[in-house]
Amino acid sequence: MVIAQGEVWWADLGEPAGSEPAYRCPGVVVQRDAFDRSRIAYDEALMSWYDAVSEGYDDWAADMTADVPFYVDLAREADGSIVELAVGTGRVAIPVALATGRRVIGVDASPGMLRQARAHAAEAGVDLTLIEGDMRDLALEEPAALIYCPFRALLHLRTWADRRRVFERVAASLRPGGRFAWNAMAFDHRIAVRDDGVHFGEPVPHTVHFVVGDNRIDLVLDGGETTSLWWATKNEWLGLLDVAGLRLEALAGGFEGEPLTDDSLEYVFVARH
């Protein structure tokens, strides 16, 4: 059902649950039409961008290999199901499945990326369960021992509410003691100055734009398709753990456990349920 701005609907929400003095009451939130349209437009643009780059994505990510052993090691320690958010073409999920000999569940919103993942998984002879869906709506049949989100994919979530929703869904989807791991960039003004407005020709032609006032990086393909990433501070990530009821296990400045320093360019997080 879509409720447009200005329309009035009555909903039977049932009796409140819980006990005094703090009932848990269901509620209905209706966003402004402009907000709803902008969110839908961004989600469609994100999928369009990844569908456009899906065939060349492996070349795009060819230099990104340092994270694979990190996530593989976590998967080896997981006593239960393994889930990757933003699985893409299977760049990490396939090595995880090969190393552990276990099925990996992969979630991604891009049909084009999932087609590549299915083809790569078949070639590698590994068992991936690939789900086309939004990580904000994560729901598993059974709690996972490990959920991870590599390659800075959480930065595609544009609002605090989007990120909080993902963290809460992750917490609800983990078994007691289960882990949530992810990595994200630490903003560096020197890189922003160096790369702002620069066109990169290979392997996927695109131009980079930094929008500092919005904590945003736009990646614009030569065909016009655009995707964005919103960077966050260390304390914003820690705040998300807090509101989701997760506890920090480790925070490093690199995938080999390097200490986080003032000059670190990467946050590597591991949290526990």
- Domain locations in the chain as residue ranges: 34-185+232-272
Token pair recorded at residue 255: 């995938």
Model confidence band, residue 15 (pLDDT cutoffs 50, 70, 90): low
Kindly tell me if the per-residue pLDDT of 117 is higher than 60.
yes
Helix axes 111-124, 93-100, angle to 10 degrees: 30
Strands 144-149 and 174-185: parallel
Q: What is the mean pLDDT of the chain?
A: 87
Q: What is the pLDDT of residue 21?
A: 43
Quick one: average pLDDT of 82-100?
A: 97
Residue 215 burial class via C-beta count within 10 angstroms: exposed 0-12, middle 13-18, buried 19 and up = middle
Q: What is the pLDDT of residue 55?
A: 75
Q: DSSP code of 256? A: T
Quick one: average pLDDT of 110-118?
A: 93
Kindly tell me if the per-residue pLDDT of 86 is higher than 80.
yes
Quick one: average pLDDT of 229-237?
A: 97
More confident residue, 31 or 78: 78
Model confidence band, residue 12 (pLDDT cutoffs 50, 70, 90): low
Quick one: average pLDDT of 40-46?
A: 54
User: Would the CA dihedral through 60, 63, 67, 68 be positive or negative?
Assistant: positive
Q: What is the pLDDT of residue 45?
A: 54
Model confidence band, residue 59 (pLDDT cutoffs 50, 70, 90): confident
Model confidence band, residue 35 (pLDDT cutoffs 50, 70, 90): very low
Asked which of 39-48, 115-124, 208-217 is least confident by mean pLDDT, the reply is: 39-48
**Of the options 3.30.70.1140, 3.30.365.10, 3.40.50.150, 3.40.50.2000, the CATH number for the domain spanning 34-185+232-272:** 3.40.50.150
